[in-house]
């Protein structure tokens, strides 16, 4: 999943990036409200972690502009402002959750998982295909209940393909889903991840097809 951290404290933002990337997420970072607004206007994110006290444009304005663009992306507000009025203002502006600083990292991680469950994957965070199961929120894959050893990027590619089962996903779409906006991605990077992934899931009844000139496809399963 692709997350955006909007935080001007470099120590805090670096810690959050490391933690969330370790969980298999692609994580972008903006250290001003203006930069966050620019990213949110053109890139789809699955979750935004948003500080309120930002240079350039404050977090409430970033949030209001998101909702004016009809974005339904979940937003977790992080802030040192802990008064009831501040919490109400954040929630009224469109925040989905509010976590005052200082906070414990395990609590933030739990809130992130909860927001992802309530958002894009509200119906179910588990995808099944053949004998493979993929837990989108827990970031785990298994075949017949046995864990499959996937890297964070391999997991992200599998997620993108399974969420689009029966539809072709282009290389450009995969790059946008699994890499951050400032990464220099080589032309064959996606091919490498697809090759590795095929070897790890082919025994689970997951056939990743190459559609020449278009992208990649996991067919829908046929039922008797």
Residues 16 and 98 in one domain: yes
Count of domains in the chain?
2
Has residue 130 been placed in a domain?
A: yes
Question: What's the pLDDT score for residue 46?
Answer: 87
Give which of 127, 125, 130, 150 is closest to 203, Cα–Cα: 130
Has residue 224 been placed in a domain?
A: no
Give the predicted TM-score (pTM) of the model. 0.67
Residues 165 and 111 in one domain: no
Residues 6 and 108 in one domain: yes
Residues 104 and 23 in one domain: yes
Q: Which of the listed residues 55, 83, 118 is the one where a domain comes to its end? A: 118
Q: Which of the listed residues 118, 135, 155 is the one where a domain comes to its end? A: 118
Tens digit of pLDDT for each residue in 155-203? 888 988 888 888 898 888 888 777 777 677 766 888 999 999 999 988 8
Residues 85 and 151 in one domain: no
Has residue 173 been placed in a domain?
A: yes
Residues 210 and 144 in one domain: yes
Residues 132 and 197 in one domain: yes
Q: Is the pLDDT assigned to residue 49 strictly greater than 90?
A: yes
Tell me how far apart the alpha carbons of residues 218 and 208 are, in angstroms, rounded to a whole number.
Answer: 5
Tens digit of pLDDT for each residue in 95-113? 999 998 889 998 998 898 8
Tens digit of pLDDT for each residue in 3-26? 999 999 999 999 999 888 887 788
Residues 111 and 10 in one domain: yes
Residues 57 and 108 in one domain: yes
Residues 95 and 135 in one domain: no
Has residue 223 been placed in a domain?
A: no
78 is in which domain, residue-wise?
2-118
Helix axes of 152-163 and 189-201: crossing angle, nearest 10 degrees: 80
Average pLDDT, stretch 43-69?
Answer: 92
The tokens for 57 are 């444009």
* More confidently predicted of 224 and 7: 7
Residues 44 and 6 in one domain: yes
With a CB cutoff of 8 Å and minimum separation 6, the contacts of 7 are: 13, 16, 29, 31, 49, 51, 78
Mean pLDDT, the chain, as a whole number? 86
Query: In this structure, how many other beta carbons lie within 10 angstroms of the beta carbon of residue 14?
Result: 13
What is the torsional sign of CA 49, 55, 60, 65? negative
The CATH code of the domain that includes 147 is 1.10.10.10
Q: Which of the listed residues 62, 95, 118 is the one where a domain comes to its end? A: 118
DSSP of the chain, one letter per residue?
A: -EEEEE-S-HHHHHHHHHHHHHTT-EEEEESSHHHHHHHHHHS--SEEEEESS-SSS-HHHHHHHHHHTT----EEEEES--SHHHHHHHHHHT-SEEEESS--HHHHHHHHHHHHHHTTTSS-SEEEETTEEEETTTTEEEETTEE----HHHHHHHHHHHHTTTS-B-HHHHHHHHS-TT----TTHHHHHHHHHHHHHGGGT--EEEETTTEEEEPPPP--
Residue 147, judged by CB atoms within 10 A of its CB (0-12, 13-18, 19+), counts as: exposed
The CATH code of the domain that includes 85 is 3.40.50.2300
């Amino acid at each position: 999943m692709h997350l955006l951290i909007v935080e001007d404290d470099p120590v805090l933002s670096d810690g959050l990036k490391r933690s969330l990337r370790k969980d298999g997420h692609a994580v972008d970072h903006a250290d001003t409200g203006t930069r966050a607004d620019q990213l949110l206007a053109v890139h789809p994110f699955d979750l935004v972690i948003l500080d309120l006290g930002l240079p350039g444009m404050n977090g409430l304005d970033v949030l209001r502009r998101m909702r004016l663009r009809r974005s339904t992306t979940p937003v977790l507000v992080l802030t040192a402002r802990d008064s009831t009025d501040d919490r109400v203002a954040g929630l009224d502006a469109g925040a989905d959750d509010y976590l005052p600083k200082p906070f414990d990292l395990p609590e933030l991680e739990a809130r992130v998982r909860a927001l992802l469950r309530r958002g894009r994957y509200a119906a179910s965070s588990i995808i099944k295909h053949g004998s493979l199961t993929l837990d989108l929120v827990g970031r785990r894959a298994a075949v017949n209940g046995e864990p499959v050893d996937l890297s964070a990027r391999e997991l992200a590619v599998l997620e993108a393909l399974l969420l689009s089962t029966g539809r072709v996903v282009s290389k450009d779409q995969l790059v946008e889903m699994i890499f951050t906006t400032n990464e220099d991605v080589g032309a064959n990077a996606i091919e490498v991840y697809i090759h590795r992934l095929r070897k790890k899931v082919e025994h689970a009844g997951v056939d990743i097809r190459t559609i020449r000139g278009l992208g990649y496809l996991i067919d829908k399963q046929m039922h008797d």
